[in-house]
Amino acid sequence: MTTDENARLRATNPAVTAFVVVLIVAGLNLRPAITTLTAALDEVVAAYGLNGFLTSVLVSLPVVVFAVGVPIGPWLAARVGMDRAIVLLSVLLAVAMVVRPFSTWLLFLGTAVAALGITGVSVLAAAVFRRGDQHTAAKLTSSFTAVITSGAAVGALLVLPLLGLVGDSVPTALLLWALPAVVAAFALALTSPGRGTRAVVQPDPVRMRAYLRYPATWALVCFFGLQSAVFYGMTAWLPTMLRDRGLGAQDAALVYVAVSLLGLVGALVAPRVAVHPDRRVLVVLTVASATLAGWLGLAWAPTGTRWIWALLLGVSQGAGFALGLSFVVFRALSPAQAASLSAVVQGVGYAIAALGPLVMGLVLDLTGTWFWPVVLLATAAAVEGVTGVRAAADRPVIPRRSG
């Protein structure tokens, strides 16, 4: 029996099904570690005494770790099994969120370690979902990305009200956000099919760098990286930009939350449409065009029309993120290949994405105007559409084994 057939049999196991369901729900914890910082950035800066440079480092740190920390997922899975690795990475995320509120240096260390856990879970989730056929993988991936988007929105929506409930104590508010992560790690440990046995599916033994020899991989990398650069640039700076345009803090936060919540729609719908190869290019171009229009509208159109642009940006951002993950799943032939290809695409892609919030902040400091940061992110959205056409191809990425 082949590894792929073995994986498909495991996908029908009730224990595996329970673990997959818990994994999808646990996706709620894969963004609050980031959005709870950016949505209350002014308060975090004041509480921990951060200067402009340290603030830019803090908002860019998670994406940088996403890039350099991607190999941890396949590395850990090769030693303890796919499912156990996900459990351990979830525990790592929970511990990091517990310790980070207690000092400035722990804030940075905890955020970095939390990002390491997040990226490891994200990479291995692609392999778990690929245990079924493409239609099943599309449904699972869309559900997972929708839940991740929900977590981002919940974090952004509740962080300021929660801060008020705890007497404006930023460390206490951050500590409370660790509780869901602890619960998720415990639930994954209880349902892991790897308890007592070694998981069957391991990452592809092909060296991950072999994938980078193929233009198809670079199309996937650039699409995922540019989409993520737009997302994290928007996540880091949209509330601040809207405040500078004259909106109050609460109104700016509501627009940000709306963009995050509307991502649910795109995340749920896009992979289910893109599972049909003949529709993928149209979906990609629609998503990139809506992202471009939504971002420019929020930046330059009259603020009274902001909800129109929030709708476009939110739906398209959720769709773009879901497509970036789905194309990796669609173009891998097995769960093992999905793990390796996902690690490469997310690793290099997040290296590109890290430039989004960082370069925007630097350009804003240098120019003192939002014009050039807005143009930079709009350019990324336009190129995202071009690379997405190649990423959407209906051909598997199969590197040869190195001898």
State the pLDDT at residue 399.
Answer: 63
Q: How confident is the model at residue 70 (pLDDT cuts 50, 70, 90)?
A: confident
| Mean pLDDT for the chain overall | 82
pLDDT of 224 strictly over 90: yes
**What average pLDDT score do residues 283-301 get?**
95
State the pLDDT at residue 359.
Answer: 87
pLDDT of 108 strictly over 70: yes
- CATH top-level class of 3-391: mainly alpha
**What average pLDDT score do residues 351-367 get?**
85
Q: Provide the token pair at 338.
A: 């999905």
For tokens 């190195």, the residue is: 402
> Is the Cβ–Cβ distance between 229 and 356 less than 8 Å?
yes
pLDDT of 244 strictly over 80: yes
Q: 28-67 pLDDT, tens per residue?
A: 778 888 777 777 777 888 888 888 778 878 877 888 888 8
pLDDT of 264 strictly over 80: yes
Highest mean pLDDT among 5-9, 124-128, 152-156: 124-128
Say which residue, 109 or 396, is predicted with more confidence: 109
How many C-beta neighbours within 10 Å does residue 82 have?
Answer: 30
> Is the Cβ–Cβ distance between 224 and 67 less than 8 Å?
no
Rounded distance between C-alpha atoms, residue 205 and residue 75, angstroms: 11
Q: Provide the token pair at 221.
A: 């990398």
Q: 294-340 pLDDT, tens per residue?
A: 999 999 999 999 999 999 999 999 899 889 888 888 887 777 777 77
> Does the predicted model carry a pTM greater than 0.85?
no
State the pLDDT at residue 15.
Answer: 62
Domain positions in the chain: 3-391
